[in-house]
Amino acid sequence: MHHAQRRATAMSDALAREMLPADYPIIGMVDLDTLDELFRAAEAAFDSPSPVTHAVAAKAVTLVPMMRHLAELGAGCEVASPGELRMAQLAGFTPDRIVFDSPAKTRHDIDTALDLGVAMNLDNFTELSRIDEHLAGATPKGRIGVRINPQLGAGKIEEMSTATPTSKFGIPLRDEGSRQAIIDAYAARPWLNQIHVHSGSQGMALSSMAAGVRAVVDLVADIHATIGHQQITHIDIGGGLPVNFDSDAHTPSFADYRAALEAEVPELFDGTYGIITEFGRSLLAKSGTMLTRVEATKVVGGRPIAVCHAGAQVAARTIFMPKAWPLRVSVLDPAGEEREDDVCVQDVAGPCCFSGDIIAHQRSLPLIREGDVIAIHDVGAYYFSNSFSYNALPRPAVYGYREKDGAVAWVTLRRQQTIDEVVAEAGGDVDSSW
């Protein structure tokens, strides 16, 4: 089955099995076959004579069973906090497959990472001196790199751009004296054997991403010229490949990105360096869908509004920045058949108590009726991990599906949060008598 057909089969099947809870009708679904296909596509596109590790960005997944599946496929994992690190370990990623990238590492984080032997990319010179203190002359078990900000321009979404002249990430390359300071840091530490750049993000052109990698590979050449031999063994090019949220097409593809890199930085693939990628959105977005029941419909000031259960609690970015993060939605009848008739301009509203809680603004859609189901597409990255506890709404369940004998088979990836858990999270489990 093709991706869209498998999704249609899964949506009808989920409704036939009454997987949408009556008291909180919203669930997430992940197409595990699509996830596998995209992971294999990344592997094929980045084929190189040297080892390549696709360290999936944990913040885009954060569902341990999915991380476990990715570990089994041969992925690595990029983590940025003690919680993500713990999840990666639980999922079965061995330390040599974990990259610890937190932008604000405590001494405790650094000690933990060094003791475990995970690879680590440093954000600033303070972190470098903390490592010096911890090591006291010893050699670290895992690879250690420095995150470089090549200080390029911003992409189409300013808030998401990671490599601007004043971005908060990494050590700047173009500021006065900075390049020399980086070279000196490597020359003084024979164990600094990795370098990191993550200059892509949603809204970023492939050529700009490749330019970021180009700048870092030039820096590596300068470092090696100064030291007199090759010290850096691994180049971590980060993630940030954008996703097309307008259709089912996976564009730009991993092969497109490989071609852009090949054109700009051919030596990246000549076998000299191990390559690490940290894809998140591009690996995961296309595999996810949310389903939610339409509770009621009404017309307000001439505008038809359908009220459903997907709002800021599951789609904070889309709700707060609707122009930057629009999502495709489709309208299904109660049996899961896609509606096509009576197209008119409608709002699809969520369950949160503020007026901006609209998942689709003024969208031309088939007329939505009470009891219909709204499918929200391309939510496999970040949407299931970035919950927002507004109005004490629970995190919905997420199920994985696979094609099996012409139908789909299901697995639970996360159960729905209970009301008791929501209350406990709000301090309901604290003894506050004084």
Give the binding site for ligand PLP (CB under 6 A).
Answer: 57, 59-60, 78, 101, 198, 201, 238-241, 278-282, 381
Name the residue with tokens 């498998």.
6
Q: Does residue 353 carry a catalytic annotation?
A: yes
CA nearest 333: which of 304, 301, 368? 368
- Residue 33 has phi, psi (to 5 degrees) of -65, -40
Q: How far is the CB of 103 from ligand PLP (least distance, A)?
A: 8
Q: How far is the CB of 199 from ligand PLP (least distance, A)?
A: 10
User: Which residue lies nearer to ligand PLP by CB, 20 or 381?
Assistant: 381
Please, are residues 299 and 349 in contact by the beta-carbon 8 Å criterion? no
Core vs surface per residue 159-191: b (16+ CB within 10 A) or e: ebbbbbeebebbbbbeeeeebeebbebbeebeb
| Cβ atoms within 10 Å of 302's Cβ, excluding its own | 5
Amino acid at 77: C
Q: How far is the CB of 312 from ligand PLP (least distance, A)?
A: 20
Q: How far apart are CA 248 and CA 377, in angstroms?
A: 9
**Which residue has the CB atom at the shortest distance from ligand PLP?**
280
Q: How far is the CB of 54 from ligand PLP (least distance, A)?
A: 11
Q: How far is the CB of 283 from ligand PLP (least distance, A)?
A: 7
User: Which residue lies nearer to ligand PLP by CB, 25 or 280?
Assistant: 280
User: Which residue lies nearer to ligand PLP by CB, 258 or 281?
Assistant: 281
User: Which residue lies nearer to ligand PLP by CB, 20 or 99?
Assistant: 99
User: Which residue lies nearer to ligand PLP by CB, 57 or 368?
Assistant: 57
Based on C-alpha coordinates, what's the Rg of the chain?
A: 23
Burial bucket for residue 290 (CB in 10 Å: 0-12, 13-18, 19+): buried
Q: How far is the CB of 382 from ligand PLP (least distance, A)?
A: 7
Q: How far is the CB of 363 from ligand PLP (least distance, A)?
A: 25
The neighbouring-strand residues paired with 346 are 363
Q: How far apart are CA 198 and CA 146, in angstroms?
A: 11
CA nearest 261: which of 210, 227, 337, 200? 210
User: Which residue lies nearer to ligand PLP by CB, 102 or 292?
Assistant: 102
Active-site entry in 77, 344, 352, 353: 353
User: Which residue lies nearer to ligand PLP by CB, 241 or 307?
Assistant: 241
Catalytic positions are 353
